[in-house]
Amino acid sequence: MRIDQHREGDRLSLTLYKEQAPVGVCRLLLAPGRVELQGFSIDDGWRGKGYGSYLLKQALHATGGFGTSSLHTAPPPESEAAAALLKKFGFAPAGDVWLRRRAPDPSAVGLTHEFLASRLAPGGFFIDATCGNGHDTAFLCRLAGPQGRVLALDVQPQAVAATRARLEAEGFGSMAQVVQADHARLAELAPPASADCVVFNFGYLPGADHALFTTPASSLPALEAALDILKPGGVLAACLYSGGPNGGGEKAAVEGFFAALPLTRYTVLACRFANWADTAPLPCFVLKK
């Protein structure tokens, strides 16, 4: 038994062979953002023996159906057996098609980026106060656009080098200033009421020495400085971590700091994953009035 794949442009066909003879075919359209199952058949003599399941499974594998994020559609099934096959692989009726959707679980960083993207306008001044490997810095550069400006800092030389390399690779090298500095020195790097956004990812640098991590001794002064640096209407975003080498002390201290901010000047959001472990990352947002 074998499957041959043939692609022409945005059309993909998979043909299932048994004993050198074709016994089934699956035809798909690779449309923007989705894959359309346009034709599927198994020869009469080979039905009910698992070959349909095998062919559909391979078609989903070939088009990302078992990855973290995918969308497949199929026309309404013409028989109970066809409906049972689609249901077996997660398809369900949705209007005039059958739909199979896989979406990744939200992450603390992903939610942070979505929130910031909904509130920040191009041309602003954004700060990544713990740039790490540069993912948040590159994201802020994309938001800021050619007319904006980004400042990134980290206390570890490895993080500064990784961030600069990422920005160069993504074409942002000229619009971001990356400096080696402790985030506790943030007040020295930007004047009051100058930034539209300040982002923190507390904890340790992924891929580096986990014995080096942020602590309340530097993080709380950095947060105080960030709030002073923010313009009215600006956003502070912070992802808090616990359960690792830094334990839960910093997370508890930062939560206490946020809870004590006066409502007359700030609105604070803590986006807890209610059915995840207590050690799950906690995205927080402070909106300056």
Tell me, what's the pLDDT at 218?
86
CA 267/CA 289 separation, integer angstroms: 8
- Within the chain, residue ranges assigned H as helices are 51-62, 80-88, 108-119, 135-144, 157-169, 216-229, 249-259
CA distances for 218 relative to 184, 186, 250, angstroms:
5, 10, 10
CA 235/CA 227 separation, integer angstroms: 9
Q: Is 169 helix (H, G, I), strand (E, B) or coil?
A: helix
Q: Is 23 helix (H, G, I), strand (E, B) or coil?
A: strand
Q: pLDDT tens digit string along 206-236? A: 555 554 667 788 889 999 999 999 999 999 9
Contacts of residues 64-70 at CB distance under 8 Å and 24 or more positions apart, as own/partner, are 64/35, 65/35, 65/89, 65/100, 65/102, 66/102, 67/102, 68/102, 68/103, 68/104, 69/102, 69/103, 69/104, 70/35, 70/100, 70/101, 70/102
> Which secondary structure element, helix H or strand E, spans residue 151, and what is its range?
strand 149-154
Tell me, what's the pLDDT at 247?
65
Tell me, what's the pLDDT at 212?
60
Tell me, what's the pLDDT at 200?
95
| Residues of the chain predicted below pLDDT 50 | 211
Find all residues with CB under 8 Å of 205, minimum gap 6, and list them.
132, 133, 154, 156, 158, 159, 212
Tell me, what's the pLDDT at 205?
53
Tell me, what's the pLDDT at 100?
96
Do 61 and 54 meet the contact criterion of CB atoms below 8 Å apart?
no
Tell me, what's the pLDDT at 204?
56
Find all residues with CB under 8 Å of 240, minimum gap 6, and list them.
202, 250, 251, 254, 255, 281, 282, 283, 284
Do 2 and 17 meet the contact criterion of CB atoms below 8 Å apart?
yes
Name the residue among 153, 255, 158 with its Cα closest to residue 205: 158
